Amino acid sequence: MTGIQANANSVNTLSNGAQVADEYDVGIQFGTVDDSTAGTVAQANFTLYSNSGPLLLSDLDLNSFATVVNSDGGAGQVLTGSDTAGGEPVFVDTVALFEDFNDISHPSQSDAIESSGGWTTHYGKLATNSCYEGELRLAEVATDGPASISMDLRTCGIQNFENSGSMADSLRLEVQIDGGEWVLLDEFMVNDAGTRMVGSLTGNTFGESTTNLTYSGGVLDTATDSVQFRLVSDLTANDEIIFVDNVEVTVSDEVSSGGDCVPEMVLSENFDNISEAEQSDAIASADNWDVDTYYGDLNTDGCRDGTLQLETIQSSGPTTISFDASVGCIGNFENSGYYADSLRLEVQLNEDEWVLLDEFRVNDAGTQMVGSETGQTFDGDYTSLSYSGGVLDEAKGDVTFRFVSDISASNEDIYIDNIEVTACDAPVVDDECGQYDVGYVAGIPILPLEDTAPEMTDDTEELVDVMA
């Protein structure tokens, strides 16, 4: 036994940060390291005493007991006395891999790419032609169930492609499931009219304009351990070009059936292919904030500051927001006085008061922007920031996030990209299955208590000159 807490209606957190939804009177912690939950404890026993004499099992309300398991870096669960085994699994969709290829000069710089063959990047997109072709393999990701992949594709110089003979051109999308053989999802070749690339298995098409294609179901539903995707290009000329952008792989995390809260993505924006912030369905208002159309991200500085408010979403439980942030010319920022610069992230629940989640100001060394509430930081390189727990666990109804920038000079820039909001909704439950509810432990989906950039228009010759 590594810890005891006793405080009526106030105990809900372990030393590792794992938190349950309800407040308890007593908490007993087990581990193999003092004052910690670290280590494996296969069986734990303790004795309850009463000043009134011996306690019988009938004296205890077993539904008021809860056990937190596997919360040290795993998919923690909270089990109660009313839980039963054998319920049908519920799968929660999670974005395991995403890449928009902004701010990198080669595919190998992306954590989403395991190997890139001869592929290259061009204006924030993957690109392949006869000089830059071969196998581009995405990183392998873990999954408990069905997976899917989506991406944006387009061609340049489609009239130059061939669909037969020794000069035939193709792009293959393949998947490897649970470490098995590679399976073809589609092979794209140009149609006889020379106007569209057509998938051999699905009939999906893309051409000179960007098209989003998604693959799910079929063999992708058989995954139980891992999935890995690859693109294989075989092109015969440097004026036959294919672009790929916004690659996203979604996997399934298994939670036990039942409950009142399953987290899902309800709002996301990467700011590609828009020129103004309010063109995004995710943005309710943007004051003076701008979109950098070259890099595809939000920009705020001394000339473009104010409030940027996201669209209001609905949530029935724990809610999260994540985004990428970076700063330009950080040496120009001030953290105090009349010219102090700041970026605030706030949330509003059901039109109540705005609650501060973090206020970023530059540190005294002038090297990082530091959050006042969480200590999270970002600098000149993009950093992923995430917010969950606390007031965000209390969401029941409307949830609205906003960024408030107050910057004193035009050469002090902050950039925001890849905003994502995850919220909870109520799943359909089979009453005969086990009763587990879904929530969060240490930011990980768990089972809480039952009580509770515009399209590029470069012509073919210019692209060929750059890529040849």
CATH assignment of 92-256, among 2.102.10.10, 3.40.50.300, 2.60.120.260, 3.40.50.2300:
2.60.120.260
What is the pLDDT, as a whole number, of residue 69?
Answer: 73
- Distance of alpha carbon 365 from alpha carbon 312, whole angstroms: 37
The ranges assigned to domains in the chain are 3-87+429-446, 92-256, 262-425
Element (H, E) at 462: helix 460-467
Question: Which residues lie closer than 8 Å to 360 by C-beta, 6 or more apart?
Answer: 325, 342, 343, 344, 369, 370, 371, 372, 378, 414
Is pLDDT at 204 greater than 80 in this prediction?
A: yes
- Distance of alpha carbon 215 from alpha carbon 137, whole angstroms: 16
pTM, to two decimals: 0.47
| Stretch 128-140: mean pLDDT | 96
Q: Strand pairing partners for 377?
A: 370
| Band of residue 19 on the pLDDT scale cut at 50, 70, 90 | low
Tokens of 189: 């070749």
| CATH number for the domain running over 262-425 | 2.60.120.260
| Band of residue 430 on the pLDDT scale cut at 50, 70, 90 | very low
Tokens of 98: 């995403």
- Distance of alpha carbon 173 from alpha carbon 153, whole angstroms: 12
Q: CA gyration radius for the chain?
A: 26
User: Which residue type does 184 have?
Assistant: L
The mean-pLDDT minimum among 8-12, 54-58, 112-116, 217-221 falls in 54-58
Question: Which residues lie closer than 8 Å to 116 by C-beta, 6 or more apart?
Answer: 106, 107, 108, 136, 137
What is the pLDDT, as a whole number, of residue 444?
Answer: 37
Is pLDDT at 151 greater than 70 in this prediction?
A: yes
| Band of residue 37 on the pLDDT scale cut at 50, 70, 90 | confident
- Distance of alpha carbon 380 from alpha carbon 415, whole angstroms: 9
Is pLDDT at 195 greater than 80 in this prediction?
A: yes
Per-residue pLDDT tens for 410-429?
999 999 999 999 988 644 43
The mean-pLDDT minimum among 17-26, 171-180, 217-226, 331-340 falls in 17-26
Is pLDDT at 237 greater than 60 in this prediction?
A: yes
Is pLDDT at 297 greater than 50 in this prediction?
A: yes
Per-residue pLDDT tens for 160-188?
999 999 999 999 999 999 999 999 999 99
- Distance of alpha carbon 311 from alpha carbon 392, whole angstroms: 16
Would you say the CATH fold of 262-425 matches that of 92-256? yes
Per-residue pLDDT tens for 48-104?
767 776 666 566 776 677 777 766 754 456 665 544 444 556 566 788 999 999 989
